[in-house]
């Protein structure tokens, strides 16, 4: 059973506390959704604020930052690559070792907010145990579960959900990838084109729902030339999805 959570962590227990608090009204969002595995991804962060003239000096002085590069700056926004120090890298690796998939991240002067996906409830329990052991003040503000029946809280179709979870389990999102798209398609017994479409549409839905929430209902899959979807087929997929072993 998939579990989606929204959780919060104080900035002084994670990263960029000094930088965020050195500039009035400074905040940030993670620009892209990244599946974090055993290697820490270099974050691409979009900073927001009414006056970003001192952003570079704030990042240079922040002890959780080993290096950075400002890629673009437009009015009250700046897009930056940031390299974490070893403590933050270790913390991220240990957090993601609980099998959590990071869907989105954002931060204000007070706290970081993450949207995480866990394939099982046990994985969520391991995250709680890890935070308790290391005295991290993780605050979970919402928990949603989905067993493959009915609408997914994130707006994914059953096919999109199965494709994303299977790709994650087989290391498709890791750097470097542990499986290529053709091999993954064979594993799922669908065509390369069908899998590519499901992953692309699934990513599009996650970005829209998590980073730019709307009230739009989830869109149905558009059949490829190699697939003709019917009501019966959709029902069979939902039934099969509810029995997929996510452990």
pLDDT in tens, 54-87: 999 999 999 999 999 999 998 899 999 999 898 8
Residue 216 pLDDT level (bands cut at 50, 70, 90) = very low
**Sequence-separated (6 or more) residues with CB below 8 Å from residue 53:** none
pLDDT tens-digit profile of 93-141? 766 666 667 778 899 999 999 888 777 777 777 888 888 888 889 898 8
**Sequence-separated (6 or more) residues with CB below 8 Å from residue 76:** 48, 49, 50, 52
Half-sphere exposure of 211 (CA within 13 A, CB side): 19
Domain boundaries defined on the chain = 2-145, 148-241
CA 62/CA 99 separation, integer angstroms: 29
For residue 113 the two structure tokens come to 């907010």
Instruction: Note whether 91 and 14 are within 8 A (CB).
Output: yes
Measured CA angle at 200 (ends 187, 183), to 5 deg: 20
Of all residues in the chain, what percent carry a pLDDT higher than 70? Answer: 72
- The whole-angstrom distance between residue 145's C-alpha and the CA centroid of its chain comes to 16
pTM score: 0.59
pLDDT tens-digit profile of 135-165? 889 898 888 776 555 555 566 777 888 888 8
């Amino acid at each position: 059973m998939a579990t989606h959570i929204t959780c919060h962590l104080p900035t002084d227990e994670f990263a960029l506390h000094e930088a965020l608090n050195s500039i009035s009204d400074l905040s940030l969002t993670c620009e892209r959704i990244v599946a974090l595995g055993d290697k820490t991804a270099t974050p691409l962060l979009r900073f927001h604020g009414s006056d970003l003239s001192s952003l570079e000096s704030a990042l240079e002085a922040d002890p959780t930052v080993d290096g950075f590069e400002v890629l673009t700056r437009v009015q009250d926004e700046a897009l930056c690559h940031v390299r974490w120090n070893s403590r933050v890298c270790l913390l991220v690796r240990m957090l993601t070792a609980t099998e959590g998939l990071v869907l989105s991240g954002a931060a204000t002067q007070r706290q970081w907010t993450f949207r995480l996906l866990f394939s099982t409830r046990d994985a969520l329990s391991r995250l709680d145990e890890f935070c308790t052991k290391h005295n991290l003040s993780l605050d979970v503000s919402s928990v949603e579960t989905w067993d493959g029946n009915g609408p997914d809280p994130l707006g994914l179709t059953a096919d999109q959900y199965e494709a994303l979870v299977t790709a994650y389990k087989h290391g498709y999102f890791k750097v470097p990838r542990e499986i290529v798209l053709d091999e993954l398609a064979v594993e799922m017994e669908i065509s390369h084109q069908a899998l590519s479409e499901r992953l692309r549409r699934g990513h599009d839905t996650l970005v829209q729902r998590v980073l730019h929430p709307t009230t739009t209902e989830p869109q149905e899959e558009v059949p490829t030339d190699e697939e003709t979807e019917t009501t019966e087929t959709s029902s069979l997929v939902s039934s099969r999805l509810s029995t997929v072993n996510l452990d």
